[in-house]
Structure 1
Amino acid sequence: MLGSKSGLQKHVNEVALNVKGVHCMIHRFALASKTLPRALYKILEAVVKCVNFVKAGDLNSHPFQNLCRGMDSEYETLLFYSKVRWLSTGDVVTRVFELQGELKLFLEMKGKDDLLSHLLWEPHLAHLADIFEQLNWLNLRLQGKERNVFHHMYCSRAFLGKLQNWQRKVSAGNVAMFENISIVLDEIEEGHLLDPSLKNEIIQHLKSL
């Protein structure tokens, strides 16, 4: 509808040569939010593989649902990942993080050692859940009625300021602004100590964003 070859942009340019067409800011934001360092991208791939295995058919999805129900879990199903839906990544990662105990147990019961080998990433998964939650929050703020370029620029600049502030805090070993990873570190015996390799990955991710 808005194409430069035969859509609205073409018809507008026929009468107003100086008019320029650009992609929606939300679309560009969505592309930028897909930027992930290689190590974190592997974690996301492992999450998607686990979700696809559980939801591949009734032989897996129903037993997993029964397992969650028997453990009185808050949720009983995982969510499918879809590249088309911009907000799905955060929803999928958050749900896996919330059901990681049930998911580990289910994969052990199924003898999926190949998938279990990727499940030693609680802090990494927690970071993904935290950062995608923030990205989804920004995405939703950019949508809706009475949203214009000034509102978009205000939200984007405010978020960039947050990213820079988070970089400084993570460099100092402070992750209090990330709820999920703080919970995970509290459960580790060393207590509140951020692994140096994970710290570098988080900083690299924030810089890339």
Structure 2
Amino acid sequence: MPEDLKSVLDSAVKTVNFIKARPMNSRLFGVLCDEIGSEHLQLLLHTEIRWLSRGKVLTRLFELHWEVQMFLQDKQFPLLHLFENSEWLSQLAYLSDIFSRLNDLNLGLQELSITVFDLNDKINAMVKKLQLFEMKIKAGDVSPFPTLESFISENKLTLDDGVRDNIVAHSDSLRQQFRNYYPVSAEVNNWMRNPFTVEVGDMPEDFSTSEQESFLELSCDEALKSDFKRISLLDFWIQKTRRIPSAFGQGHTVSSSIRDYISVRERLLISCCDQDKIQK
């Protein structure tokens, strides 16, 4: 993250902590928001919280930036001047938008039924979106970031060149980080994604002849094809391996690949069941 954006984030954290760390501050701020009819009465507590929550905190802080400015005027808070600075507020608005997008992505990756294929799809889509955002920002189009767009429009501003450069640099940095953690997949197990569309020449080379024959039989089974359309990918392979456990031989490439996906799902299910018991 560019130093300017990091500074904005750090200042936002300090501001929220200042308000929430003292009960009297928090109560007075709540009264102020109530009196002027603000939609949000309280800021979320932020004490070096995880990035997953930062989108919510930054959104609340930006939505209340005018109320925060009024409240801090009597507190001799050293960062008060930032809430009067359109460049700083523009970057706060951007951070609110981008962290909200990252929050949505993170929540999507936590779905119980997600597969490696789904994960790759979502990450690839996000990387391409970041590239799109970068192109638009370079052209002066802030529409990918609705909070920033509204702020600029309502205050009749133009995007500052420095802010634009910071957003471009941040988008590029995020794309690189995603690719470092999630390299482009060779899709070596893409046959599992839809076994009914794989051609003879597209089967993995490490399948044995008997495994290839079994796979071709499966790919032509209309009953299984009907099941595939009706249930999730994970449930299909779980049922398939349990119903016909020897279809792909004993512990070879195909069966072990399927078990890798199934075991992840079953571990998640067991974990959720155990957690549910603890809560009860």
The TM-score, its normalising length taken from structure 1, stands at: 0.78
Out of 117, 130, 142, the residue aligned to residue 81 of structure 2 is: 117
Hey, what does 1:153 align to over in structure 2?
120
SS of structure 2 residue aligned to 1:151: helix
Which consecutive residues of structure 1, in runs of 5 or more, have no partner in the other structure? 1-35
C-alpha distance in 2 between matches for 1:99 and 1:43: 16
Counterpart amino acid of 2:142? Answer: V
Counterpart amino acid of 1:54? Answer: I
Which consecutive residues of structure 2, in runs of 5 or more, have no partner in the other structure? 175-280
Hey, what does 1:58 align to over in structure 2?
23
Per-residue deviation, 1:50:
0.6
Of the two structures, which has the highest relative contact order with CA contacts closer than 8 Å and spacing of 6 or more? 1
C-alpha distance in 2 between matches for 1:81 and 1:154: 32
Out of 177, 180, 183, the residue aligned to residue 144 of structure 2 is: 177
Count of matched residue positions in the alignment of Structure 1 and Structure 2: 171
Out of 159, 165, 170, the residue aligned to residue 200 of structure 1 is: 165
C-alpha distance in 2 between matches for 1:117 and 1:185: 19
Hey, what does 1:17 align to over in structure 2?
none
Deviations 1:105-150 (A, max 9, x none): 00002222x1213322111110001101111111111012111211
C-alpha distance in 2 between matches for 1:109 and 1:82: 23
5 Å-filtered alignment, 1:72-91, equals: 72-83=37-48, 85-91=50-56
Hey, what does 1:22 align to over in structure 2?
none
C-alpha distance in 1 between matches for 2:104 and 2:33: 28
**CA contact 2:134–2:172 (8 Å) conserved in 1:** yes
**CA contact 1:82–1:88 (8 Å) conserved in 2:** no
**Larger helix percent:** 2
C-alpha distance in 1 between matches for 2:155 and 2:67: 19
Counterpart amino acid of 1:176? Answer: S
Out of 58, 64, 80, the residue aligned to residue 93 of structure 1 is: 58
**CA contact 2:13–2:47 (8 Å) conserved in 1:** no
**CA contact 1:82–1:89 (8 Å) conserved in 2:** no
SS of structure 1 residue aligned to 2:167: helix
Counterpart amino acid of 1:163? Answer: L
SS of structure 2 residue aligned to 1:152: helix
C-alpha distance in 2 between matches for 1:86 and 1:151: 22
RMSD: 1.3
Per-residue deviation, 1:83:
4.5
Structure 1 residue 163 corresponds to structure 2 residue 130? yes
Per-residue deviation, 1:194:
1.2
Structure 1 residue 140 corresponds to structure 2 residue 124? no
Hey, what does 1:47 align to over in structure 2?
12
Higher-Rg member (1/2): 2
SS of structure 2 residue aligned to 1:162: helix
C-alpha distance in 2 between matches for 1:46 and 1:194: 21
C-alpha distance in 1 between matches for 2:116 and 2:166: 32
Per-residue deviation, 1:203:
0.2
SS of structure 1 residue aligned to 2:120: helix
5 Å-filtered alignment, 1:14-33, equals: none
Per-residue deviation, 1:197:
0.6
Structure 1 residue 188 corresponds to structure 2 residue 155? yes
C-alpha distance in 1 between matches for 2:43 and 2:51: 17
